Amino acid sequence: MRLLHTMLRVGDLDRSIAFYTELLGMRLLRRSDNSQYRYTLAFVGYGDEAETAVLELTYNWDTDHYELGTAFGHLAISCPDIVATCALISAGGGKVVREPGPVKGGTSVIAFVEDPDGYRIELIERRTPVASSSPAEPAAA
């Protein structure tokens, strides 16, 4: 398993992309709109998603700001068998808050668990392991 991404909800996607790419030297890796569920995802980072953890910026079309306590979304971790992983977490006393199944508007199989403090962790099923590498150097701003 490896850390895939951290998700933040943002009130102005273009402003956030500009901050992370222009000020912090990340690259916009991909961006997708989901008109049915009214959100846009933008992934930014210093390297390819197959090799490094990245940041997912989520823009919900009907929300232009968040209170500081609600801006953090979740951590994401890949796992080869999401059903077995959730069963192990439950058996160990952990809390599965969203059972394994397809993501709304997509095909990825996901589940959510909570850590002891209530922080959400998204499990994403990946049958083939994703290679890990050392972090890439940030691009010059």
The answer as to whether 132 is a domain residue is no
**Which residues are paired to 3 by β-bridges?**
77
Nearest to 100 by CA among 114, 88, 84: 84
* Structural domains of the chain, count: 1
The answer as to whether 137 is a domain residue is no
**99-125 per-position pLDDT tens digit:** 999 999 999 999 999 998 899 999 999
pLDDT the model gives residue 70? 84
Residue 133 has pLDDT above 90, yes or no: no
The answer as to whether 24 is a domain residue is yes
The answer as to whether 136 is a domain residue is no
Q: Among this protein's residues, is 122 annotated catalytic?
A: yes
CA 111, distance to chain mean position in Å, is 12
pTM, two decimal places: 0.73
Q: What is the CATH number of the domain that holds 91?
A: 3.10.180.10
The answer as to whether 11 is a domain residue is yes
Which is catalytic among the residues 49, 51, 122, 125? 122
Encoded tokens for 90:
């439950």
Output phi, psi for 119, to 5 deg.
-70, 135
Give the separation between CA 86 and CA 79, rounded to whole angstroms: 10
pLDDT more than 70, % of the chain? 90
Positive or negative CA dihedral for 55, 60, 61, 64? negative
Nearest to 13 by CA among 55, 69, 76: 55
Nearest to 58 by CA among 70, 73, 41, 72: 41
**73-101 per-position pLDDT tens digit:** 998 999 999 999 999 999 999 999 999 99
**52-77 per-position pLDDT tens digit:** 999 999 999 999 988 878 888 998 99
Q: Provide the residue range defining the domain that includes 104.
A: 3-125
Output phi, psi for 79, to 5 deg.
-150, 150
Confidence of residue 129 (pLDDT cuts 50, 70, 90): low
Place of tokens 């980072």: 45
The answer as to whether 133 is a domain residue is no
pLDDT the model gives residue 116? 86
